[in-house]
């Protein structure tokens, strides 16, 4: 069976296929009385929407969400909230000649084996990045809940191919910087970097190829005390969701793999006492741990980075196999695909972070903060 249900205290169930009539999500466990700004939700959906420029797929989808339950007079009702998104620009004919030819880098072969050849192959079916649109909707709902608690989440393009943006300051990143990222098509610190990234993507596109990237995410104003050892750590739950996003191949928290080259005296985040509105709070001078110790938030910004692989479908000839005849073949795959998935993955990572943090808040209730 295909299972696309996530969560402990809120549960989301993602449904649909890339070339089906619609895709959507059911969010179960939402508290009643969350005021939802539908314009903000539309803005979030637009961040991920395809077909906006040459740097993304040319599939044109409006990605308008129709909320069909769990929402009344501007507020959540407490019953399951369901949002659906119509698929209006399908071109399934592009997949007619490859239903038995396994695309390198895709889930075609593994899906064929796992589901005995019954999985929808058009556009990747349920394995498609198209299924991240409902996740962005669910994340937009969660983000409005978190905004009421003063939590800010934002992601920028740390790297596209060989082009590197400056990293966030893990101690002093501000809410305004993260808000600025959410309002940018290419969220980076400098306009010059954005232009170089566009050139990198366009170069791959013109070469009938694709390019990957690294995204850096920060979550601000989390209280200390969220998360539990061992298997309910903040890292465990965040990584489990993030790795469920198509094309994600790696995640690291804080200084991540760079910690391997440090000594303990350098890697340890030393404490000091900070005053906030007359309240004394322990803080750390550095943030190599990424705001998490022992799987539990320590009050510093939570920082993590996500590796997004290059788009698998490219227009270069590739060697593969015909699963019916069991013969080797070479094929040029058609279709409309992003030359760089990382750009449109930014709001998806924001959504994942919001959903995980909301789930943690609902678990801990008033025990933290």
* Known binding positions: 48, 126-128, 294, 309-313, 336
Within 8 A by CB and 6+ apart from 252, the residues are 304, 305
Within 8 A by CB and 6+ apart from 85, the residues are 16, 22, 23, 24, 61, 63, 64, 65, 66, 133, 134, 137
CA separation for the pair 204, 50 (Å, rounded):
18
Q: Where does the chain have alpha helices with state H?
A: 38-48, 108-114, 132-147, 175-182, 191-206, 234-242, 264-267, 341-364
Specify the residue for token string 């995640």.
251
Query: Residue positions in the annotated binding site for NADP(+)?
Result: 48
Q: Is 295 exposed, middle or buried (0-12, 13-18, 19+ CB in 10 A)?
A: middle
Within 8 A by CB and 6+ apart from 1, the residues are none
Specify the residue for token string 């920060």.
218
Q: Is 170 exposed, middle or buried (0-12, 13-18, 19+ CB in 10 A)?
A: buried
Beta carbons of 135 and 107 less than 8 angstroms apart: no
Give the CA diameter of the chain. Answer: 74
Query: Residue positions in the annotated binding site for FMN?
Result: 126-128, 294, 309-313, 336
Rounded to whole angstroms, what are the CA distances from 66 to 70, 71, 144, 243?
12, 11, 18, 27
């Amino acid at each position: 069976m295909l299972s696309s249900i996530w969560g402990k205290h809120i549960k989301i169930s993602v449904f649909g296929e890339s070339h089906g009539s619609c895709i959507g999500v059911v969010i179960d466990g939402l508290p009643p009385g969350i005021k939802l700004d539908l314009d903000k939700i539309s803005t979030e959906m637009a961040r991920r929407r395809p077909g906006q420029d040459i740097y993304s797929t040319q599939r044109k989808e409006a990605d308008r969400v129709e909320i069909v339950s769990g929402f009344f007079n501007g507020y959540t009702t407490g019953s399951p909230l369901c949002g659906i998104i119509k698929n209006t620009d399908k071109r399934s004919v592009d997949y007619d000649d490859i239903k038995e030819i396994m695309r390198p880098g895709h889930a075609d072969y593994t899906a064929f084996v796992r589901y005995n050849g019954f999985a929808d192959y058009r556009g990747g079916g349920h394995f498609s990045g198209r299924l991240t649109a409902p996740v962005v909707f669910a994340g937009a709902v969660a983000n409005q809940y978190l905004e009421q608690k003063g939590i800010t989440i934002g992601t920028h393009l740390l790297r596209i191919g060989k082009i590197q943006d400056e990293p966030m300051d893990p101690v002093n990143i501000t809410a305004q910087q993260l808000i600025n990222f959410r309002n940018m098509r290419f969220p980076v610190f400098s306009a010059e970097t954005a232009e170089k990234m566009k050139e990198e993507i366009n170069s791959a596109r013109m070469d009938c190829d694709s390019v990957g990237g690294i995204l850096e995410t920060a979550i601000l104003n989390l209280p200390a005390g969220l998360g539990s050892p061992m298997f309910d750590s903040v890292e465990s739950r965040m990584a489990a969701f993030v790795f469920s996003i198509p094309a994600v191949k790696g995640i690291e928290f804080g200084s991540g793999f760079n910690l391997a080259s440090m000594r303990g005296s350098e890697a340890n985040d030393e404490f000091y006492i900070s005053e906030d509105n007359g309240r004394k709070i322990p803080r750390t001078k550095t943030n190599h741990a990424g705001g998490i110790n022992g799987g539990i938030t320590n009050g510093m910004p939570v920082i993590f980075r996500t590796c997004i692989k290059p788009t698998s479908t490219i227009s270069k000839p590739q060697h593969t196999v015909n699963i019916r005849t069991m013969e080797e073949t070479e094929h040029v795959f058609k279709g409309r695909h992003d030359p760089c998935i990382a750009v449109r993955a930014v709001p998806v990572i924001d959504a994942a972070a919001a959903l995980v943090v909301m789930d943690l808040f609902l678990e801990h209730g008033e025990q933290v903060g």
